[in-house]
Amino acid sequence: MNKKIIVAICGASGSIYGIRLLKALLNKPVNIYLFISNAGLKILEYENGYSGKDFISFLKDKGVAIHKDANLNIYEQDDFFAPPASGSFRHDGMVIAPCSMKTLAAIASGVADNLIHRAADVSLKEKRPLILLPRETPLSAIHIKNMYKLAMSGATIMPPSPSFYSNPKNISDLVDSVIARVLDHLKIEHDLSKEWGDSIV
């Protein structure tokens, strides 16, 4: 059966991480449940030129190829009737890429004010994988405390810190070095990076 993966894009800088994750997932027979926060939509426009209209055409313009057995289900941020809002929805992982400090705080305090918070809240209570790519710098003690609370509750805190030991040639390589780790944690095969110990040249 196809894996079911929830992807959320928040209004933090680095919406390219969400796009690159979708690119990697849509290339496979995976069912994707996508939520983009209202702030996330604005940053997608500002950083990546998304017009706010047909998201699939936008992805194709970004070079995304869609596998014939891939499914992309897109929900509004306030759609609490979406399947991932319920604990009875069995999925294989939720990734928030990038994750703003606001969404981080909401999840850490159990405030399910929109579908992203709710699906993350549900993932934690149902012990399903929840991976957050929090983006802010520097971090205040409040941010760090929220990350600690979530890590203690079972979430994986994966700051989008690209690796340089793979000799990246461009921004795309840097982004891929982060997304490769996300795919590793979702247990999805990929060729975005080599395992340390393999030849990298």
For ligand FMN, the binding residues (CB under 6 A) are 10-13, 37, 39-40, 43, 46, 100-103, 135-136
* Least Å from the CB of residue 197 to ligand FMN: 33
The C-alpha atoms of residue 37 and residue 24 are separated, in whole angstroms, by: 21
The neighbour count for residue 77, using CB atoms within 10 Å, is 21
> Under 8 Å CB-to-CB from 36, ≥6 apart: which residues?
8, 9, 18, 44, 55, 74, 77
Nearer to ligand FMN, 70 or 150 (CB): 150
* Least Å from the CB of residue 28 to ligand FMN: 27
Nearer to ligand FMN, 10 or 70 (CB): 10
* Least Å from the CB of residue 9 to ligand FMN: 8
* Least Å from the CB of residue 191 to ligand FMN: 29
The C-alpha atoms of residue 36 and residue 2 are separated, in whole angstroms, by: 22
Nearer to ligand FMN, 43 or 94 (CB): 43
* Least Å from the CB of residue 148 to ligand FMN: 17
AA letter at 96: I
AA letter at 164: F
Residue, CB closest to ligand FMN: 11
The neighbour count for residue 12, using CB atoms within 10 Å, is 26
Nearer to ligand FMN, 29 or 159 (CB): 159
81 is written with which tokens? 């009737």
The C-alpha atoms of residue 47 and residue 13 are separated, in whole angstroms, by: 8
Nearer to ligand FMN, 8 or 192 (CB): 8
